[in-house]
Structure 1
């Protein structure tokens, strides 16, 4: 099966409309409305003088902004009612990503831009949904309309089934990881909304619910447990704190009941250490970062991946800035974090051959997380903390590090490809486990890999070993005692 058989993973460039009516922000609105009427169109893209899209006006804007204003229509300029800043999509982005943005923002069209940010077309939800009646987008719609916990549980199982199905197609692992992250986000957001609606109507939105680790980076596969926390405002009374505690307990219980496993290490918002005010989180970060013990290093590393799912993103950015500031004052934490990362060398023997049954894996198997995925994600994370570039997942961080000159072009490309290969191998192994009614994990059976895959795995593990040597030199681990 090819990507053509899974249309929602085709690139936007395959279906966008290239003929787009545009106008300038200072054009008279009446003139633009007349053009819309003549051409029977429902939107016009607003561009600057260099053909860069900066806004959009729709017939809904005319109804909601012009008619109720009571102003003389001739007095309106386009800029008075246009929607700006504009939500755009790249021509190489996949159609599912376009649908996800439209759904999350409650809009029906996206402006398509090229690599230089110039307007090249427009794509609508109708254009995409016309391609197939049953789709990941329909799953998003069903999640949005879910009315109870049991329905969300069924939908979570449908997500797993969809991922198992798509893993057998030519869908890239990056697109598949993004799909899993987007759908899991939707499940959690709907559950949050139902909890607020049905059981905690007075909870308010003054706290933030954040996810961390692979979920924070948007790099989940089929075996993903919970890693989350709550950030509270500094001014919170005892009653509010107690309410959030009950809310957190209910949320984590419900997440577990719909099929998202609890974190074995207790890194969940239902546990008090993972519910703190902004000031308390800063003090805890100071403790972790200034005392990089075997317990504190993974906690700080996990927290560095925070991504806000509910509430204001302001505190997320503030806490990441706090991490940057503290680490720039003392690099010991990054040195210890890197030291911890190189403690998981790829399973290669002295002759450069792959060893199985090491790093806790059963005989004949390889733990792909310990063999290389962890080294790449944590190594790139350490470099991203140093470079103040934690936004996004591993691929986005690699891109930023390349642009900043931290990584060489070939090095960045090899790391990205190696990461994708290892995650792809893990997902395939997890799918096999599910098909055998076994629990999915991080291990792959070496004998089940083709000769070509075994060769590619050897190259990947050699890339990981080179990256670990690079990291040791970059952070001067020879100075540690």
Structure 2
């Protein structure tokens, strides 16, 4: 079987190696070796240690999963083996030759050296290595990587003078107040100045008298960008890191260099300070450029969408504040919630708005015009900022979605008791609710009650599973890619409705089955694996598939923005390399397989 006469020339025709400088490409060709493999031979199988990345020079290789289900047939210029290499695990798939094959084998050390020294190769393979991604800057780090651990703390009955002495002696700007292991509040230099020197509190009085009780906090798994956004939006300089009621650390302005990761924080700050929706819109108009920057600097898809969603959250809260300034204080407590992609913290460059209002049960008919006006002000402001009115009218401006808590309880109880088509659709939307602004206690009890009731009702769960299977991955005969057949987007793939949404639906069902609290899709999948609702192997495959699809969607939108076009979700598969098409097809097959497992109702899926 003839190998292409010039291995260097052949590799130069295979993406991403076509991006290598001539010298690096020649080195790669010199280090690679070729293998002739007969029909029926196995290159590796489930459980094997994979030591090479393989490129098909000639022939065909079948990839099957652990149950023998065919995932794909790989032809010339397709690669395989990178999955196990990047995850550092034994192979979870089997590669068997279907037609006499000649393979180019690139050993693991050479493969990782390519990733470490060539940015284009790294970017290409980063989407396949969730745990090996390189740091993308301080903004995307977990906050626990930068926080001050074991911050200075004192008891609530500590005299103010003693707390001030600790701050002076240690040259710090705050002290945390803890009752045993329980975090209670914080005292800063500003508190000392305003409440003691100016306010007249006696230095011998307990420090609890001047502390800020229950301050804004973040969890240890928050991102540094979350700290920046909170500081900029709320005008604070200290953020305690708390899990449950236990203090883990603290982040202050002096812990961070403001010059780092201020791209999204700058937008958050501009939105938070805006005096009108028009001024806010000038800031949100920069979101496409931000998305492009975040994608091009190699941030993971869930980080990009979270940062983009933070801006929508800030815009919503600022509009609520502006609404109250115009309309006066709300007559009763209320809570504004987002659903859809904003609720799941998964907004991209294309977003409408989906939201609702939960009102205190003390609300009267006389109060309702106030909330109708508030909803209209906020919804129109969001539309002005590029978060367009929902075509399905799933907004707080619709009286149906601006109701007292008791009515919302009746809604969910009715949908669960009688899961007809409309109930399934509405429940699918409303199970993605996330509080944005107002009294969050109005939702906490409702969420817990609804998850418990839904999980107990097997008929409702079965209907929700069936509803989740309506959006199918775009696979045709022989598991090839099936594009849209007619219309404006003919010959393209809808990476939202046929790519991301099927995984979103699976994640939502698993949330119900496991009574899990997360709303974000990736967090739902991880929680489902931890709870045993998803098997470890099936869950890992589904996470990989979701990461690949979501990343390609963002890459596609970034490319459109860079070309001066409005971003959308419709990808022409001819724009992809053979390698990318192959792995996108594999990802769709994984999603389809997991849908089939969910539909069968056989315990933990996967």
Please give the range of the TM-score, normalised by the shorter of the 2 chains: 0.7 to 0.9
The alignment status of 1:61 with 2:188, answered yes or no, reads no
Indicate how the Cα distance of structure 1 residues 279 and 38 shifts in structure 2: closer, same or farther if over 3 A, else same: closer
Which of residues 331, 347, 352 in structure 1 aligns to 2:479?
352
Structure 1 counterpart of 2:582: 455
Structure 2 counterpart of 1:95: 224
Deviation at 1:437, TM superposition (A): 5.1
Which of residues 379, 393, 396 in structure 1 aligns to 2:523?
396
CA distance in 2, matches of 1:246, 1:47: 42
Indicate how the Cα distance of structure 1 residues 360 and 414 shifts in structure 2: closer, same or farther if over 3 A, else same: farther
The alignment status of 1:108 with 2:108, answered yes or no, reads no
Q: How does 1:58-457 map to 2 (within 5 A)?
A: 58-64=188-194, 66=196, 73-74=203-204, 76=206, 93-104=222-233, 106-111=235-240, 119=248, 122-132=250-260, 135-198=263-326, 200-204=327-331, 206-357=333-484, 362-436=489-563, 438-457=565-584
Indicate how the Cα distance of structure 1 residues 442 and 272 shifts in structure 2: closer, same or farther if over 3 A, else same: same
Does the CA-based 8 Å contact 2:284-2:385 persist in structure 1? yes
Deviation at 1:94, TM superposition (A): 3.5
User: Aligned with 2:478: secondary structure?
Assistant: coil
Does the CA-based 8 Å contact 2:225-2:261 persist in structure 1? no
- CA offset digits 1:177-197 (Å, max 9, x no partner): 110111111112112212221
Greater strand proportion: 2
Moved more, 296-305 or 130-139: 130-139
Q: Which ranges of structure 1 fall in alignment gaps of 5 or more residues?
A: 477-481
Moved more, 455-464 or 328-337: 328-337
- CA offset digits 1:94-145 (Å, max 9, x no partner): 321221233455431335689xx885x6432244244349532222221121
- CA offset digits 1:378-429 (Å, max 9, x no partner): 1221221232223331122223323322222333333233222212211222
- CA offset digits 1:163-222 (Å, max 9, x no partner): 122222211111111101111111121122122213x12444522221112211111111
Indicate how the Cα distance of structure 1 residues 26 and 4 shifts in structure 2: closer, same or farther if over 3 A, else same: same
TM-score between both structures, scaled by the size of structure 2: 0.69
CA distance in 1, matches of 2:153, 2:502: 48
CA distance in 2, matches of 1:84, 1:111: 12
Indicate how the Cα distance of structure 1 residues 441 and 332 shifts in structure 2: closer, same or farther if over 3 A, else same: farther
Does the CA-based 8 Å contact 2:455-2:514 persist in structure 1? no
User: Aligned with 2:540: secondary structure?
Assistant: helix
TM-score between both structures, scaled by the size of structure 1: 0.85
Does the CA-based 8 Å contact 1:359-1:367 persist in structure 2? no
CA distance in 2, matches of 1:278, 1:19: 40
CA distance in 2, matches of 1:22, 1:355: 60
User: Aligned with 2:225: secondary structure?
Assistant: helix
User: Aligned with 2:483: secondary structure?
Assistant: coil
CA distance in 2, matches of 1:248, 1:113: 33
Structure 2 counterpart of 1:479: none
User: Aligned with 1:229: secondary structure?
Assistant: strand
Q: Which ranges of structure 2 fall in alignment gaps of 5 or more residues?
A: 1-118, 124-133
Q: How does 1:34-45 map to 2 (within 5 A)?
A: 34-45=165-176
User: Aligned with 2:421: secondary structure?
Assistant: coil
RMSD, aligned CA:
3.5
User: Aligned with 2:403: secondary structure?
Assistant: strand
Indicate how the Cα distance of structure 1 residues 125 and 159 shifts in structure 2: closer, same or farther if over 3 A, else same: farther
Moved more, 349-358 or 144-153: 349-358
User: Aligned with 2:476: secondary structure?
Assistant: coil
Moved more, 23-32 or 444-453: 23-32
User: Aligned with 1:135: secondary structure?
Assistant: helix
Does the CA-based 8 Å contact 1:389-1:400 persist in structure 2? yes
CA distance in 1, matches of 2:185, 2:425: 43
Largest Rg, 1 or 2: 2
CA distance in 2, matches of 1:259, 1:394: 24
Indicate how the Cα distance of structure 1 residues 402 and 81 shifts in structure 2: closer, same or farther if over 3 A, else same: farther
User: Aligned with 2:357: secondary structure?
Assistant: strand
Aligned residues: 472
The alignment status of 1:33 with 2:164, answered yes or no, reads yes
Structure 1 moving runs of 4+ over 4 Å: 1-7, 10-29, 45-50, 52-56, 64-72, 78-93, 111-114, 358-361, 435-439
CA distance in 1, matches of 2:602, 2:447: 21
Structure 1 counterpart of 2:80: none
Does the CA-based 8 Å contact 2:334-2:442 persist in structure 1? no
Greater helix proportion: 1
Deviation at 1:146, TM superposition (A): 0.8
User: Aligned with 1:310: secondary structure?
Assistant: strand
Deviation at 1:49, TM superposition (A): 7.9
Does the CA-based 8 Å contact 1:338-1:475 persist in structure 2? no
Deviation at 1:446, TM superposition (A): 0.8
Moved more, 4-13 or 160-169: 4-13
